[in-house]
Amino acid sequence: MFIRKTTHTDNKNGQKYYTYKLVESIRTARGPRQRPVLNIGKDFNFPKEKWKELADRIEAVISGQYNLFPVPEEIEQLAQRYARRIIRRHGQRSPEAIEDQTKPDYQTVDVNSLDNEQIRSVGGESVVLAMIKELELDRKLEALGFNRPHIEAAIGVITARLLAPTSERATHLWLQNETSLDDLMDTSFEPLCQDRVYKVSDMLLNNKDAIESHLQNRERHLFNLDEKILLYDLTNTFLEGSGKYNKKAHFGVSKDKRSDCPLITLALLMDADGFPKKSEILEGNVSEPGTLEKIVPTISTTAKKPIIVTDAGIGTKKNIKWMSNNGYHYIVVSRKRKPEIPAGIEMVKVREDDRRLIRAAIRVNATGEVEVFCHSTAKEIKERGIKNRFERRFEDKLTEVCNALHKKHGTKNYDKVLEKIGRLKERYRRVARRYEISVEKDDKSANAINLDWRMKQVDDTSGYYVLRSNLTNTNEKEVFDIFTMLLDLEDAFRSMKSELGLRPVYHQIEYRCDGHLFISVLAYHVLHSIRLKLKNHGITHSWSTIRSRLATHYRVTTSMKCSDGKMLYVRKTARPEECHTIIYDALDLPRQPGKISKAIL
């Protein structure tokens, strides 16, 4: 074998360019001939003086020969890469028919020459790829003008976010070195460049509205969704870096406890079945209440005016008025920190399990709005624990002030003591208002001589909260059950952050950050579709559990030397174990995904 440089002329501009091919000499009936083995492409920039050594090493790898002397690392890496492409292409040119895959194929081989290589995961890839095709996302991308390489890269990026969530740079390496997704798609990610991974992220973001609309319609058809309830909430994620090139990046209150980093916000509208309907990337310090009326009208559902469920952060008077005026039903959490529980109200049990008992009572107020007063034992224990902890801290600080009155260098001046107490009240303002504090003053010395405090008798509202709604023809349990669907949206945010690589964001440019978040949203569409189908068969594992189990199923290339001196290469998926077959059978997928390819060289 040898490498040939060929000159070409561009018909459009007349400029010359070069391509490189790996060529071999063969004997034919008409004499010696040269046959192209592999088109290396035009970006081949290896030094010409090393071409012969590279070609010899490629031939040695294909024929299963071992070198007596070590080969330079740069030559070995290229030789292995091009040898794999030759073996793959030869196997694709002579595919094994499905009906022939179970027939005997006897070969005389040297058992000692048997070797395994290109061990790549296939389990998670087959499940994700099947769901992407069932959602017809590949067809939608084609309709939007994506060419085949871009469609393949888009599927690769989304699959990587589900199976190996990390940065786009690491995604590129995963696609090239760790997955057999390209096997399942009859393509190769070896020539995939880093720029294409970034470019396809930009292309997905540019078509965000069309893709989300397609997924909404497709999921509605597949899972028979009624879309009568919409859940709305926001979360934020942090950026690694200054964020100075991102207009949306601002410092604010981080829900990940990373207020030291610039933030960006993701707003998500989701239905009661857990499927995202609309997403929006907003500024990190955005005012949450002001986002509702901008996003809700952009969604179309089968229901004329769905019920909107949101938490206290969104449930402002202005938003409630807007929803009422526009014909939406709503269920929101009251923004009052201390709910006023009516005397003598009768509460009924709406939920009970091993961890908590929840009771509720419904009342229509003077404005005609429904108020549902709820009490949770678990919430009560939590709130009392927090109160007790801060009460102890506040009393400990008061004790320190009191003890200082009797120490040699302690603060005794009456005004200074009052100043210290005022600072403590500001620091512990939630519990300080429950105390009556008195300071005794010595008129002669103008010093404080004693400090006393006691707790006021106040109504304990620990564990109570109030839901507001304009659903008049309903009862406590129905309102509460609808409201608890908001927990599914919180689960979605947790899944995106912990399982789908939403955080942190390593990009610095605004549209690249937005693209990173949108890929996580697309991945969640696929994730939730898979989990819902598995749930219908009694499999309720988290995605991380499903992913880890499927990650142990591999495709392997086995090579061995035949008696005639040629090398036999067989690429096949390993036999699945029980943990794999349970998932495959539930999703109605083949137990050994991927084709069997054979090549004799």
Cα-Cα-Cα-Cα dihedral sign, residues 479, 482, 486, 487: positive
Which pLDDT score, from 0 to 100, does residue 344 have? 77
Average pLDDT of the segment spanning 70-91: 82
Q: Residue 505 carries which DSSP code?
A: B
pLDDT over threshold 90, residue 122: yes
Q: What is the pLDDT of residue 30?
A: 83
Q: Give the model's pLDDT for residue 96.
A: 58
pLDDT at 509: 92
Both tokens of residue 455?
């707790």
Please tell me the predicted confidence (pLDDT) of residue 126: 96
- pLDDT surpassing 70 at residue 98: no
Q: Do residues 377 and 463 lie in contact, with contact meaning Cβ atoms separated by under 8 Å?
A: yes
Q: Tell me the per-residue pLDDT of 518-563, one tens digit each, with 9 for 90 and over.
A: 999 999 999 999 999 999 999 999 999 999 999 999 999 999 999 8
pLDDT at 33: 85
Span 308-344, pLDDT tens digits = 999 988 999 999 999 999 889 999 999 887 777 887 7
Residue 578 has pLDDT above 80, yes or no: yes
Side-chain-side CA neighbours of 56 within 13 Å: the count stands at: 9
Distance CA 404, CA 401 (A): 5
Helix (H) / strand (E) containing 416: helix 414-427
CB 516 within 8 A of CB 497: no
- Is it the case that residue 137 has pLDDT exceeding 90? yes
pLDDT at position 95 over 60: no
Does the pLDDT at position 255 exceed 90? no
- 556 is written with which tokens? 């392997």
Identity at 475, one-letter amino acid code: N
Per-residue pLDDT at 32? 87
DSSP letter for 68, please. Answer: S
Other beta carbons within 10 Å of 439:
17
CA distance 500 to 523: 7
Confidence (pLDDT) at 308: 93
CA distance 86 to 436: 85
pLDDT at 535: 94
Q: Quick one: what percent of the chain has pLDDT higher than 90?
A: 50
Distance CA 432, CA 454 (A): 11
Q: Which of 288, 295, 291, 280 is nearest to 255 (CA)?
A: 288
Asked if residue 558 lies in contact with residue 567, where contact means CB atoms within 8 angstroms, the answer is no
Does residue 183 contact residue 87 with C-beta atoms inside 8 Å?
no
pLDDT (tens digit, 9 = 90+) per residue, 39-64? 888 888 888 888 888 888 888 888 87
pLDDT at 97: 58
pLDDT per residue as tens digits for the range 468-495? 999 988 888 999 999 999 988 889 999 9
Q: Are 513 and 264 in contact (CB under 8 A)?
A: yes
Q: Work out the burial of residue 141: count CB atoms within 10 Å of its CB; fewer than 13 is exposed, 13-18 middle, 19 or more buried.
A: buried
The domain locations on the chain are: 2-93, 340-460
Q: What is the pLDDT of residue 100?
A: 61
Say what the pLDDT of residue 227 is: 84
Q: What is the pLDDT of residue 565?
A: 85
Structure tokens at 243: 């964020």
CA atoms within 13 A on the CB side of 570: 15
Contacts of 362 (CB under 8 A, 6+ apart): 370, 371, 372, 373, 475, 476, 479
99: pLDDT confidence band, cut at 50, 70 and 90?
low
Least confident segment among 240-244, 253-257, 458-462? 458-462
Give the residue from 569, 568, 571, 567 showing the smallest Cα distance to 556: 571
- Supply the mean pLDDT for the chain: 89
d(CA 169, CA 240): 15
Question: What's the confidence (pLDDT) of residue 132?
Answer: 97
- Please enumerate in sequence order all residues whose Cβ is within 8 A of that of 599, keeping only pairs 6 or more positions apart, or say none: 87, 90, 91, 94, 568, 569
- Predicted local distance difference test score (pLDDT) of residue 270: 93
pLDDT at 568 over 70: yes
The stretch 430-453 carries a mean pLDDT of 88
What pLDDT does 123 receive?
95
Q: Give the global pTM.
A: 0.83
The Cα–Cα gap between 597 and 570 comes to 6
Query: Which of 66-75, 153-162, 261-270, 494-503 is predicted with the least confidence, judged by mean pLDDT?
Result: 66-75
